[in-house]
Amino acid sequence: MTECLFCKLVDGSIPATKVYEDDKVLAFMDIMPLTKGHTLLIPKAHHASIQEMPPEEAAHLFSVAPKIARAIEDAFEPHGLNLLNNNGAPAGQSVFHFHLHFIPRYNEKDGLKVSWKTKEKEFSMDDFAEHAKEIQAKLS
């Protein structure tokens, strides 16, 4: 038996409050929700990160995401919705099975504080061009 918590949800060895399921993905209620309706969407196959997921599995997961988002919106009428993936320990990932959070937002006191501290003064347009080239070189 696997040690991965989410793989145990997929194989049924521990229960999940399911929202959606097909042969490739599972969506379920987060047991440590930030807000009403906080839902997770995972691939059934174990992949620790987005980088490990085959493109066809990622495409399917992200094709289901709008359906989950619309259902949350219709069910709870939140004022907004955060989609969040913590990818790797430095980004805050604690369960190392790829998962996408759907966090309905109701007001500024609903449990999630997102703060953007941009660094636009640290990078020039030349830096952006160089960064783009470095990424492009790894795409081939």
Catalytic residues: 99
Over its C-alpha atoms, the chain yields an Rg (Å, rounded) of 17
Could you give the CA distance from residue 11 to residue 98 in angstroms, rounded to a whole number? 16
Tell me which residue of 17, 14, 94, 79 sits closest to 48, measured CA to CA. 94
Looking at this protein, which amino acid is placed at residue 58?
A: A
Q: With beta carbons less than 8 A apart as the criterion, state whether 95 and 58 touch.
A: no
Q: With beta carbons less than 8 A apart as the criterion, state whether 21 and 98 touch.
A: no
